[in-house]
Amino acid sequence: MGWKGRDIISIREFSRKDIDEVLKRSSKMDKKHNKSLVGKKLSAIFFEPSTRTRLSFETAMHNLGGEVIGFNESKGTSVEKGESLVDTVKIVERYSDCIVMRNPLEGSARLAAETSSIPVINAGDGSNQHPTQTFLDLYCIKKNFGKIEGLKIGLVGDLKYGRTAHSLALGLSHYVDSLRLISPQNLSMPPHISKEISSRTKLDERTDLKLEGLDVVYMTRIQKERFPDVEEYEKTKGVYVLTKERAAKINGIVMHPLPRVDEISPEVDSLKQAKYFEQAACGIPVRMAILEMVMKG
């Protein structure tokens, strides 16, 4: 499948070969790039809060000579007057060459892609998927280890509502033989995803924070905003905290898509294991590569 015009909605749509190609192009971008997107416009339409994803997409576009229009919340747009997502997409596709969208509704990115004649990139649709985060997570892992194959990786935290965990677990299942999934019982990986992963990779699902033997500890935030019941959240918050003492014993690296709340103590930041800020920086070359691929091929 060609890249020009391609939507990026779910990591499921990408084969191992596709993922490898994105990582290769990202690495090239890291070394050298030109203004390949001069004259192109990106619509960044964000219906949910974002810091890294939106700003790294904007930076990526600017680095390649392109422009960005968009909004950071539905406040101030016609969505407040009752305009539908489909109508909003029909407008911005006439103003730009690519859409990157974050929306609280699962499936909204797919709907936008079906409506739009220009490529749509999913920057997070509810608890469902966050494919470009996975590309940058894999890029960061590869940058640190020179490979992804055979590494021992553990995903920790809210695996039920965390879209980064869903996408990453599916992406990793193309590379690793086993995957450790650590979550409280009530926040375990949705069965439809673990079933899909376990056809390729052995799963070790557990509730205790067992980090021994891991090359990558991928921490995630308990997704407060997704809980139907705030009391349920209160019961679970703070369940796993990576302290400096714990982190110092890790033989590999600590990653986190960020934002963190209390799951990684700030004292961990100064340890050599802490790679989450470097991980966020990987968003730039990876999103430059993705934007160029879907707009230019």
Shortest spacing between CB 199 and ligand NCD, in angstroms: 25
Q: Which is nearer to ligand NCD, 50 or 116 (CB)?
A: 50
Q: Which of 6, 25, 41, 130 forms a contact with ligand NCD (CB under 6 A)?
A: 130
Tell me whether residue 9 or residue 93 sits nearer to ligand NCD (CB atom). 9
- Tokens at 55, concatenated: 């700003």
Site for ligand NCD in 155-194 (CB under 6 A): 163-164
Give 218's strand partners: 155, 255
Which position among 119, 252, 257, 285 is part of the footprint of ligand NCD (CB under 6 A)? 257
Give me the residue label for tokens 């509810």: 126
**The only residue of 53, 128, 134, 201 in contact with ligand NCD, by rule CB under 6 A:** 53
Angle at 10 between CA 89 and CA 291, to 5 degrees: 65
96 vs 133 by CB, closer to ligand NCD: 133
Asked if residue 133 binds ligand NCD (CB under 6 A), the reply is yes
Considering 52, 62, 143, 237, which one is annotated as catalytic? 52
Is 163 one of the catalytic residues? no
Site for ligand NCD in 64-123 (CB under 6 A): none
- In the region spanning residues 191 to 230, those forming contacts with ligand NCD, defined by CB under 6 A, are 221
- Give 141's contacts (C-beta < 8 A, 6+ positions apart): 148, 151, 153, 216, 255
For residues 103 and 162, give the distance between their C-alpha atoms in angstroms, rounded to a whole number.
14
Three-state SS at 102? strand
52 as an active site residue: the answer is yes
Total binding residues toward ligand NCD, as defined by CB under 6 A: 10
Among 66, 70, 119, 124, binds ligand NCD (CB under 6 A): 124
Q: How many residues does the chain have?
A: 297
- Within 10 angstroms of residue 144's Cβ, the number of other Cβ atoms is 17
* Tokens at 270, concatenated: 């100064």
Backbone angles phi, psi at 209, to 5 degrees: -80, 70
- Judged by CB under 6 A, which of 209, 258, 271, 281 binds ligand NCD? 258
Minimum distance of ligand NCD from residue 54's CB (angstroms)? 9
Distance in Å, CB of 257 to ligand NCD, minimum: 4
CB 2 within 8 A of CB 297: yes
256 is a catalytic site residue: no
> How many other C-beta atoms are found inside a 10 Å radius of the C-beta of residue 205?
15
Footprint (CB under 6 A) of ligand NCD, residues 9-48 = none
| Cα–Cα distance for residue pair 67/97, rounded to 1 Å | 10
Single out the catalytic residue among 40, 54, 130, 180: 130
Q: What angle do CA 281, 148, 136 make, to 5 degrees?
A: 25
**Strand pairing class (98-103; 120-125):** parallel
User: Is 102 labeled as catalytic in the residue annotation?
Assistant: yes
Question: Is 51 designated active site?
Answer: no
Query: Looking at the annotation, which residues are catalytic?
Result: 52-53, 81, 102, 130
Residues near ligand NCD (CB under 6 A) are 52-53, 124, 130, 133, 163-164, 221, 257-258
